[in-house]
Structure 1
């Protein structure tokens, strides 16, 4: 397991196998998952002061991550 909190496998453990399959068979899902991963790393870097950001920038990253997480969840439920 990753040291970074909020990874997709941690957020949606019931969909781990489905996400793995979709990452290789569905380009749209793969892109969403990669974007989530990148946003999550940026948020984690900001939260741990490894890559500090202004407070509003950090809040924006969290909002974008949350919206994308909701989109991914809806996609997983629909497919």
Structure 2
């Protein structure tokens, strides 16, 4: 869906405390969060502004975002 929220806190509200804790104490996790947030913002901007971009490009961004989200979730569950 266009403009749909995919930030990590929105995706995993039950883990908000753990997300905040890990972001503050784990540099690797914080770096992944920053990369995820940047990519999520880029995807939303492309979708909302209707910026001309190849379908393959935006789909690749979405796949990268999903992989980052999976890595973040894995770290949160350990």
TM-score by shorter chain over 0.5: yes
Q: How far is 1:50 from its partner?
A: 5.3
Distance in 1 separating the partners of 2:20 and 2:42: 22
Q: Which piece of structure 1 moves more, 52-61 or 37-46?
A: 52-61
Q: State the TM-score, normalized to the length of structure 2.
A: 0.88
Number of aligned residues: 76
**Larger RCO, structure (CA 8 Å, separation 6 or more):** 2
SS of the counterpart of 1:48?
Answer: helix
Over aligned residues, Cα RMSD in angstroms?
A: 1.6
Q: Which structure 1 residue ranges, 5 or more long, are not aligned?
A: none
Q: State the TM-score, normalized to the length of structure 1.
A: 0.87
Q: Which structure 2 residue ranges, 5 or more long, are not aligned?
A: none
